[in-house]
Amino acid sequence: MQDKIIIITGLPRSGTSMMMRMLKEGGISILTDNIKTADEDNPYGYYEFEKVKDIDQDMSWLEDSKGKAVKIVTMLLFKLPSYNDYYIIFMKRKLDEIIKSQKIMLRRMGKTPKYKDEELKIMYSKHLNEVESWLSKQKNCKVLYISYNETIKNPTKIALSIKNFLKKDLDIDKMVKCVDASLYRQQVEDESGINISSSLSEDERDKIKEQLKALGYL
């Protein structure tokens, strides 16, 4: 395990920062430069490493990342050299939620999305299929797919699955405490405009809305 590189990947806003924090609290060293600091979208920080973006020009940092976790977006996975072994934790989240979360982030930055939601959804789906298909063929990559929503609902179960995957003795309690459901809210807005705290399933949200409506709220 010491010579393997742990990669946290996923589309932007799929829970990669949360997973980095979980691993850090669980006892895994992480590779980050803290250049991108915490903000409203990620109050606990991004845990990014700027040099990842220039992986085409400079891969020297990969040597330092052995035995550590580093965040790499899916688009850059194809650039990983084949002479290393990688444990990849791939964060999956509903595309509607990802797109919504990205729009909120862009709005806070004063920007507008370049593509319509449906266009983005098709592009992301196609991209994810390509990445996953490519990964399945890489003998030097072991991949664990983690559902962001399941992590919110059952953090203990997810933390244990990561422990088994990495074969490392992790502090499960500390990992679970990282899952702050009050911050990781589902971003899918339904017809009544309610985004409910992520510790609730979509079915629960619908039922809660019905109950509140019956009593004159909403």
> Where does this chain bind other proteins (CB under 8 A)?
40, 104, 107-108, 181-182, 185, 189, 191-197, 199-201, 203-205, 207-208, 210-218
Tokens matching residue 146: 């983690």
Nearer to other proteins by Cβ, of 32 and 186: the residue is 186
Phi and psi (nearest 5°) for 89? Answer: -100, 110
Nearer to other proteins by Cβ, of 104 and 144: the residue is 104
Cβ distance 96 to 18 under 8 Å? no
Determine whether 26 is exposed, middle or buried from the number of CB atoms within 10 Å of its CB (0-12, 13-18, 19+).
buried
Nearer to other proteins by Cβ, of 50 and 204: the residue is 204
Residues in contact with 208: Cβ distance below 8 Å, sequence separation at least 6, in sequence order: 196, 200
Tokens matching residue 151: 């992590």
CB of 67 to other proteins, least distance (A): 34
Question: Considering only CA atoms, which of 40, 97, 93, 33 is closest in space to residue 65?
Answer: 33
CB of 167 to other proteins, least distance (A): 29
CB of 156 to other proteins, least distance (A): 12
CB of 111 to other proteins, least distance (A): 12
Nearer to other proteins by Cβ, of 84 and 199: the residue is 199
- Residues in a beta bridge with 89: 8, 144
Nearer to other proteins by Cβ, of 83 and 217: the residue is 217
2 vs 139: CA distance, rounded Å? 18
Neighbours of 105 (CB within 10 A): 17
Angle between helical axes of 16-26 and 155-166 (0-180°, round to 10): 70
Phi and psi (nearest 5°) for 3? Answer: -95, 0
Nearer to other proteins by Cβ, of 37 and 182: the residue is 182
CB of 170 to other proteins, least distance (A): 21
CB of 207 to other proteins, least distance (A): 5
